[in-house]
């Protein structure tokens, strides 16, 4: 069995900084998450569900462009 196939069946270990682990532990206190691992899996699944990391903001809306344009005009960068 290849290493790739084995990761499909078994859990693997991810290393995160101890400081971050402690911080996450205090964050989940009083929540429904029973462990940092459970919380991390939840967050990572949520991120992975997006499909990809880039192009999160494809562009500016017309309203956003107008706000920026007015600011640049007041500053003298454009007319």
Partner 1 sequence: MVQRCELKVAAISKVAVFGLDCLEPSLCFERWIEDLPNLRALMQRGTWGRMTSSMPPVTVPAWSCMTASKDPGTLGIYGFRDRKDRSYDGWVICTSLRVKEPRLWDILTQQGKDSLIIGVPETYPITKPIRGCMITSFLTPTTKDPSIQYTHPPQLRREIEQLVGEYMVDVPMPRGGDKQVILDGIYTMTRRRFDVVRHLMCTRPWDLMFMVEMGTDRVHHGFWSFMDPQHRNHVPGNRFENAIHDYYVEVDRQIGETLAKIDLQTTAIWVVSDHGARVLHGGVLLNQWLMQQGDLVMKAPPTPKQKFDAKDVDWSKTKAFASPGYYGQIFINLKGREPQGVVEPGNYERYRDDLIRRLEAMPGPDGDPKGGGGWGPNAQVGNLCHTPQVGNLCHTPQVGNLCHTEGAGLREGGAGLRPASGPPALRAGAPLGNKCHKPDAIYKTCNNVAPDLIVILGDLGWRASGWLGSDSIYIYDDDAAAEDANHAQEGMYLFAHPTIQGRGRADGATLYDVAPTILRELGQPIPPDMQGRPLHE
Please give the residue ranges that form the binding site for partner 1 (CB under 8 A).
17, 53-57, 59-60, 63-65, 67-69, 71-79
DSSP secondary structure code for residue 77 in this structure: S
Identify which of residues 9 and 63 has a Cβ nearer to partner 1 in the complex: 63
Identify which of residues 8 and 77 has a Cβ nearer to partner 1 in the complex: 77
Contact yes or no for 79/73 (Cβ under 8 A): yes
Contact yes or no for 46/40 (Cβ under 8 A): no
Identify which of residues 17 and 30 has a Cβ nearer to partner 1 in the complex: 17
User: Least Å distance between CB 68 and partner 1?
Assistant: 6
**Residue 79, C-beta contacts closer than 8 angstroms, at least 6 positions apart:** 73
């Amino acid at each position: 069995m290849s290493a790739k196939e084995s990761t499909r069946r078994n859990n693997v270990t991810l290393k995160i900084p101890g400081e971050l682990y402690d911080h996450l532990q205090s964050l989940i206190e009083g929540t429904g998450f029973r462990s940092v691992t459970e919380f991390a899996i939840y967050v990572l699944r949520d991120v992975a569900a997006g499909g990809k990391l880039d192009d999160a903001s494809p562009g500016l809306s017309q309203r956003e462009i107008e706000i920026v344009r007015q600011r640049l005009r007041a500053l003298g960068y454009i007319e």
